[in-house]
Structures are given as C-alpha cells and as structure tokens.
Amino acid sequence: MNYKAAFADRYWLGVAAGGVLIPAIYVLLEELRMVVGDAIGRTDFLPPPRIQLFTLAIVLIVFRLMMVNLSREKTGKGLLSVTFLMAVIYVFYSFKFRNGY
C-alpha cells in the first residue's frame, strides 16, 4: 500500500488525529505525573497548568513535523483547529471552576 495514498492530505484526517492525539498525550502525561508523584511522595508534583502546557508543546512539535517535514498542510490545519478548540474549552472551564460560575 502506498504511503501517500493511505494518508492523503485531508483536513478531516487532521481533525481526527487531533481528537485522538491530544487526549492520548494528556492521559499519558497525567498517568506519568501520578506515578512519579507517588514514587517521590509529593502529591503536588506538576500542578494542573503544567500538564496541559506539556501536552500543547508535544502537539505543536507534531504540528511542525506535519507542516514542514511531511508537507501535509490541510492535515496540519485540522490538527491546529482541534488544538485551538481544546485550548479554548480548557480556558473556559478553568475560568468557570475557579470563579464558581
């Protein structure tokens, strides 16, 4: 099977990749935080904004690889759209829970 034909440059492929990649990275980093926190005996190891920022940094590296190295512009735009949408949702909910609305 041809690589270029299997992974065509499509916007919805980027949206699907972002919908799977972002939560998977977040859950992986959250589990890593819990394991390391339990191992060193600190429950405040990497407080909440840091895990989200690490997730964003990893997704931006993947985005750069898609845009520059793989020349997948539409797929990269889909990934960036999902990243932006999830960041807006995170900011909304963190503001809502911190201020008690």
Residue 47 lies in a domain: yes
pLDDT in the model for residue 3: 59
Q: Is residue 51 part of a domain?
A: yes
- For residue 6, give the amino acid letter: A
User: Residue 84: which residues within 8 A CB-CB, separation 6 or more?
Assistant: none
Which pLDDT belongs to residue 98?
A: 77
Specify the number of domains making up the chain. 1
pTM of the model: 0.82
pLDDT along the chain (101 residues), means of 10: 69 94 94 91 82 92 90 92 93 82 65
DSSP string, 13-66: HHHHHHHHHHHHHHHHHHHHHHHHHHHHT-TTSS-HHHHHHHHHHHHHHHHHII
Q: Is residue 4 in a domain?
A: no
- Residue span of the structural domain in which 54 resides: 10-99
